[in-house]
């Protein structure tokens, strides 16, 4: 029996790397890495996020959008022009690929919030952009925002990831952080807007598994003005990270603990100060906790983070070579682009691996060391 005759119960592949020294590398590397684990997807979704890819326009917001029809295109541009000063509007460059059929209209905009509109709105620039993204996705039929941040962009669609990457010409971009995803949709449809990564501001998420708490997470997010419209459970993770870190001020590590909290029996065995903090975190953010099997990477302008669910029902491998850190579903995806590694390890369930620009692996702050490991080798 061939692979394609069986259901892949741990499907979806993810990969990513960060150059801690800020060096930029062609997207060809992440394309080569994700292609090795092609069989973790089924051709219904692939995508990439790159950071540092627009250095000549780093002061402008880069909106990547997809449109199902020309009316959506016109309505969205009218909306954007009311709220933003747009210095460039153009189709996202693509090249023909025989496996990518009937793509939507793909456009990018480099823009800044209009000062008068931002002043009247009386909110921060980030909240202004988030409101624009939510409005477009929820109210303009046929429009979908892929990404909405400075000096980064998301490229995604229906197809195997290597074909999606070739279609979007990501080998022509250079970035200091790259993530890639091969999708195997199970409970949600395979469509262009539902491919990974999911992004909001400079947060981007790639995910393997299932968020079985989607309904609770969605209702919780709606209390804070987020709108989940993209028909895929992973969407909630991008919004939860934004809520917990940017709006509520949690550290990256504490946000990860809120999303994948320790079991109560583990909390009861902690030292008193840690125990009380974890109890409060679990109670306050009970509706933000992610249930179900998952491994995920989330990136932002200053770092890359990977972590699993609390009992590690989906695989995640981390590695290091010099100033570069790698994370992927399988070690082969890393060794394809970095054969000689300084270290390889499997992160402990629920323990985040946090890597930041200029710092490397972050091990200070909040109770436990970062990047806990169960296996290490040279």
Per-residue pLDDT tens for 63-85? 999 999 999 999 999 999 999 99
Among residues 12, 144, 228, 256, the one annotated as catalytic is 12
The β-bridge relationship of strands 317-321 and 203-209 is unpaired
Position with higher pLDDT, 366 vs 189: 189
Decide if pLDDT at 7 tops 70.
no
List the domain range (segments joined by +) for residue 46.
3-377
Q: Tokens 């009937």 label which residue?
A: 102
Q: Tokens 């702050």 label which residue?
A: 365
| Element housing 70 (H / E) | helix 70-83
- Domains held by the chain: number: 1
Decide if pLDDT at 138 tops 80.
yes
Could you tell me the pTM of the whole model? 0.94
Separation in Å, CA 215 to CA 149, 188, 222, 235, 244: 27, 13, 11, 12, 18
pLDDT at 364 (0 to 100): 63
- Which residues are within 8 A (CB) of 74 and not within 5 positions of it... i.e. 6 or more apart? none
Q: Tokens 């490397």 label which residue?
A: 360
- Please write down the long-range contacts of 363-368, taking CB distance under 8 Å and 24 or more positions apart: 365/251, 365/253, 366/251, 366/253, 366/254, 366/257, 367/270, 367/274, 367/277
Comparing CA positions, the residue from 352, 111, 305 lying closest to residue 204 is: 305
- Which residues are within 8 A (CB) of 26 and not within 5 positions of it... i.e. 6 or more apart? 171, 172, 173, 174
Q: Tokens 């995806």 label which residue?
A: 333
Q: Which pair of structure tokens corresponds to residue 345?
A: 């390890």
pLDDT at 187 (0 to 100): 79
Decide if pLDDT at 369 tops 50.
no
Please write the tens of the pLDDT for every residue from 189-242.
899 999 999 999 999 999 999 999 999 999 999 999 999 999 999 999 999 999
Q: What is the CATH number of the domain that holds 102?
A: 3.60.20.10
Position with higher pLDDT, 206 vs 188: 206
- Give residue 10's pLDDT band: very low, low, confident or very high (50, 70, 90): low
Residue 12 bears catalytic tag: yes
- Which residues are within 8 A (CB) of 253 and not within 5 positions of it... i.e. 6 or more apart? 352, 354, 362, 365, 366, 370
Q: What does pLDDT average to over the chain?
A: 94
Q: Looking at residues 173-194, what average pLDDT do you find?
A: 94
Written as one string, the DSSP assignment of 111-143 is EEE-HHHHHHHTS-HHHHHHHHHHHHHHHSTTE
Decide if pLDDT at 357 tops 80.
yes
Q: Looking at residues 181-186, what average pLDDT do you find?
A: 92
Q: Which pair of structure tokens corresponds to residue 44?
A: 């219904």
């Amino acid at each position: 029996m061939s692979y394609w005759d069986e259901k892949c119960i741990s499907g979806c592949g993810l990969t990513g790397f960060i150059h801690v020294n800020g060096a930029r590398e062609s997207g060809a590397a992440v394309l080569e890495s994700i292609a090795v684990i092609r069989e973790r997807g089924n051709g219904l979704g692939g995508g990439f996020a790159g950071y540092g890819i627009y250095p000549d326009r780093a002061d402008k917001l880069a909106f990547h959008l997809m449109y199902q029809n020309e009316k959506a295109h016109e309505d969205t541009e009218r909306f954007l022009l009311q709220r933003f000063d747009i210095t460039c509007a153009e189709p996202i460059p693509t090249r023909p690929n025989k496996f990518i059929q009937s793509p939507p209209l793909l456009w990018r905009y480099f823009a800044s919030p209009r000062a008068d509109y931002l002043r009247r709105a009386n909110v921060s620039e980030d909240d202004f952009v988030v409101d624009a993204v939510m409005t477009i996705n929820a109210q303009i039929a046929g429009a979908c925002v892929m990404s909405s941040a400075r000096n980064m962009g998301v490229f995604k669609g229906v197809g195997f990831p290597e074909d999606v990457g070739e279609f979007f010409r990501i080998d022509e971009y250079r970035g200091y952080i790259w993530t890639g995803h091969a999708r195997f949709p199970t409970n949600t449809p395979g469509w262009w807007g539902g491919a990974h990564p999911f992004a909001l501001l400079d947060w981007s998420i790639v995910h393997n598994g299932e968020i079985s708490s989607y309904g609770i997470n969605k209702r919780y997010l709606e209390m804070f003005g987020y709108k989940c419209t993209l028909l895929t459970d992973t969407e909630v993770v991008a919004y939860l990270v934004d809520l917990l870190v940017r709006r509520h001020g949690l550290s990256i590590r504490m946000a990860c603990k809120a999303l994948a909290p320790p079991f109560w029996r583990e909390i009861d065995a902690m030292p008193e100060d840690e125990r009380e903090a974890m109890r409060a975190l679990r109670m306050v953010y009970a509706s933000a906790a992610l249930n179900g099997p998952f491994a995920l990477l989330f990136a932002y302008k200053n770092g890359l983070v990977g972590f699993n669910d609390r009992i590690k029902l989906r695989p995640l491998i981390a590695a290091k070579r010099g100033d570069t850190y790698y994370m992927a579903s399988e070690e082969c995806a890393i060794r394809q682009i970095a054969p000689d590694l300084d270290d390889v390890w499997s992160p402990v369930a629920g323990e985040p691996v946090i890597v930041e620009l200029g710092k490397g692996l972050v091990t200070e702050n909040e109770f436990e060391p970062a990047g806990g490991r169960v296996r290490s080798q040279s």
